[in-house]
Every structure is written in structure tokens, then in C-alpha cells.
Homo-oligomer: A and B are copies of this chain.
Amino acid sequence: MTDIYEDIRSFTGSDWPEVWAILHETFARGDTYSFAPDSSESDIHRAWIDVPLRSYVACDADGRVIGTYFIKPNQPGLGAHVCNCGYVVAPHVRGQGLASLMCAHSQREALALGFRAMQFNFVVASNEGAVRLWRKLGFDIVGRLPGAFKHAQLGYVDALIMFKQLVAA
């Protein structure tokens, strides 16, 4: 997957149809992100592209988009030294390490952008693969929100808050 790592780059407007296809398919399942399964394209464009500070895509050897992530301050002003990211991997390349590569990339970008820490606000507790991955990548579980996510199959499940210092305190 090192080739893919080299192909993580800034999002440009012409990437959107491919990005939207991946996001739509992911959010429609209703098992990992809080976006409503029937979220409109414009709502997701706002959340993934317009609101964030930066958005990125990961491409395969043929230049097709296979993953995407965003980075933004998690709070305004006095909390803006902590960033928040969201990552989505295309279904056909899951389990091959792309989320790890995007997360590593995002941490480098976060430091370059001046952030001191990274926070995930809403990791669905039943998404055990994600929780395990973020822990492996150095994120601590710093909070648990009881029943905060309405899972499409499981009903109300907990969401976790995960946090990693990028700069020594």
C-alpha cells in the first residue's frame, strides 16, 4: 500500500463525484457515521468539503479515488489547537491498511497546519475494527457517550471519544 500513501493528495472539485459515491455508500449503511443514511449530496458536500479546513483523497494506481478524509479545528478560538478528522475508505479496498495510511498522513498534515492534538468525537463503539485501529495508532479512549448513536441494525449504542497528543504537552 505504499503506492497509495504516495497518492494521498488535496481534494479538488473534480474529485467530488467519486468522493460522494464513497461517502454516500458508507453513510447509507448507518453503522459508522452519524450522518443520516439519506443525507443529501449538498449536506455532505458542506460537511466534508466546505466546512473543513482541508479535505484529501487517496487514489489507486489508476488514479481512481479509493478513500477520503478531512481535517478541521474541533472547536473555535481557544480550542482550535485540537483538530478533528473523518476518514472513509471505499468498500472494495477495506482491510488493506488505507485508513492507517490516511490517518498517518492526517497527523503529518495536522502538525504542518499547527495543530497540537487530534480528537475523534464520535467513534461508534460497535465499530470494533476502527476502535482497535485508532488505539494501535496511538489514540486513547478519553470518553464514552452512552447510547449516543442510533445504529441502523443495533439500535442505540455508545460512541467513544478518542484523543491523541501530537505535540508533547
A residues lining the B interface (CB < 8 Å): 30, 33-37, 39, 43, 47, 74-82, 116-117, 119, 121-122, 142-152, 156, 159, 161, 163, 165, 169
Shortest CB-to-CB span from A154 to chain B, Å, is 11
In the complex this chain forms, how many copies of it are found? 2
**Which residues of chain B have C-beta atoms less than 8 A from A169's C-beta?**
146-147, 156
Given contacts A78-B150, A81-B150, 20 further A-B contacts (CB under 8 A): A34-B79, A35-B78, A36-B80, A37-B78, A39-B77, A47-B76, A75-B122, A75-B148, A79-B159, A116-B147, A117-B146, A119-B148, A142-B143, A142-B144, A143-B161, A145-B161, A145-B163, A146-B163, A146-B165, A156-B169
A30 vs B39: C-alpha distance when bound (angstroms): 36
Shortest CB-to-CB span from A121 to chain B, Å, is 8
**Which residues of chain B have C-beta atoms less than 8 A from A34's C-beta?**
75-80
A-B CB contact pairs (8 Å), 21 listed: A30-B78, A33-B78, A34-B75, A34-B79, A35-B76, A36-B77, A39-B76, A74-B148, A78-B149, A78-B150, A78-B152, A79-B150, A79-B159, A116-B147, A117-B146, A119-B148, A121-B121, A142-B146, A143-B144, A143-B145, A145-B161
